[in-house]
Each structure stands twice: as C-alpha cells, then as structure tokens.
C-alpha cells in the first residue's frame, strides 16, 4: 500500500466513516445487518484503505444545494442550519441507562436477603450473588463493547434527532392549525 492508503487512520476518520454509514442506513442504501457489520469494521480499521473500502459502493454525499436529488428526509439529516447538538456527558447518561436497572434490582434482593437474615437471627446463604453475578458479568461485557463501539455517542445523536423531529412536528402542527380556516380561534 502506497501513499494515503497505507497511512494509519485516526479516531476522527473512523467517526466520519461511521457517520456516513449511518446516513446510508437512513437513506435505505444499507440494511441494518450490513450497517452493523460495516460500523464494526470501521471502528476496527487501522488504515485509510480499510476505511475507504467500507464506502466504495456508496455514492458520495453532495451538499443539498449541489444535489440533483430530492433532499433527504428529516429522519436522516437535521434541517439545514440546525446541526444536531450532542450533549456532553452522553457517556455518563448511557452508563446510567445500562447499569441503573441492575443496581436497583441488586439493592432490592440484597435488602430482602438482609431482612430475612435479620428475622431468622442468623446469617443466611447469600443467594443474591446468583442474581448479581451473572447479570453483572453480562453488563460488564456490554459496557466494554458499547464504549469501544461508540454506542453512547450514537445513542446521544439519535436521542437529539428524535427530539428535533418531535419539535419540527409540533411546529408543523402549529402552522397547520394557524392556517386552518375551519379551526375555531379562541376568543380573547
């Protein structure tokens, strides 16, 4: 490999490719399975050649003002001039979403164990370990895989997109009601 193809890719390069794959998924160019495979390969890529191979069968993205195609729907890209903000601390929020149910259930079963041990006036077998241990091991694997694969960022972007779509839908509804002559106006 000569030149650029043999050069090592940076995390930012991998993110750009993952974003382009997400757009291709939203456009219907990739199915969910193929998107997932390519995103995993993008985050595992070491060189530009490996990243370029993931996009080789996708058309380049043209700015909307230069595109001959109909603009993508709001579900794929945010409206022009309104970038999707990614809230800082998205990793903490994702970790809370993953781990809080586990912590709540473990607290409940340990409390039940503690109360039953107290009422029997002896230290009973610590059965909550059978709940906490396997579930905790699965969550550790999910956490490591999710952090390595950029899952917190993807979820934060998708959450902001949904919020933006809901806001745009409310605005459209308001505009329709404002322009509807059949709609009774409240008297003031």
Burial of 59 (0-12, 13-18, 19+ CB in 10 A): exposed
| pTM of full prediction above 0.85 | no
Q: Answer yes or no: is 185 within a domain.
A: no
pLDDT reading at 181 higher than 70: no
pLDDT tens-digit series, residues 138-153: 999 999 998 888 888 8
- Cβ atoms of residues 35 and 21 within 8 Å: yes
Side-chain-side CA neighbours of 157 within 13 Å: the count stands at: 15
Average pLDDT (73-93) is 55
Flag whether pLDDT at 92 surpasses 60: yes
Q: Are residues 167 and 99 in the same domain?
A: yes
What's the domain count of the chain? Answer: 2
The span from the CA of 180 to the CA of 174, in Å, is 10
For residue 84, what pLDDT is reported?
Answer: 47
Do 107 and 169 share a structural domain? yes
Q: Are residues 175 and 95 in the same domain?
A: yes
Q: Which residue blocks in the chain are alpha helix, DSSP H? A: 11-27, 32-44, 48-55, 90-120, 128-149, 151-179
What's the pLDDT band for 78 if we cut at 50, 70, 90?
A: very low
Name which of 28-42, 72-86, 137-151, 172-186 the model is least confident about.
72-86
């Amino acid at each position: 490999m000569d030149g650029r193809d043999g050069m090592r890719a940076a995390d930012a390069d991998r993110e750009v490719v993952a974003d382009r794959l997400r757009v291709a998924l939203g456009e219907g160019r990739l199915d969910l399975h193929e998107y997932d495979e390519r995103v995993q390969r993008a985050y595992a890529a070491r060189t530009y050649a490996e990243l370029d191979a993931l996009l080789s069968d996708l058309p380049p993205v043209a700015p909307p003002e230069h595109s001959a195609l109909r603009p993508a729907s709001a579900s794929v890209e945010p409206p022009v001039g309104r970038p999707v903000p990614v809230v800082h601390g998205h990793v903490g929020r994702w970790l809370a979403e993953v781990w809080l149910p586990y912590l709540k259930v473990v607290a409940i079963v340990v409390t039940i164990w503690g109360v039953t041990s107290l009422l029997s006036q002896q230290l009973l077998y610590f059965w909550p370990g059978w709940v906490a241990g396997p579930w905790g091991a699965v969550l550790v694997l999910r956490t490591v895989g999710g952090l390595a694969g950029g899952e917190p960022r993807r979820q934060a972007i998708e959450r902001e997109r949904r919020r933006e779509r809901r806001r745009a839908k409310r605005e459209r509804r308001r505009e329709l009601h404002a322009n509807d002559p059949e709609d009774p106006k409240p008297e003031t």
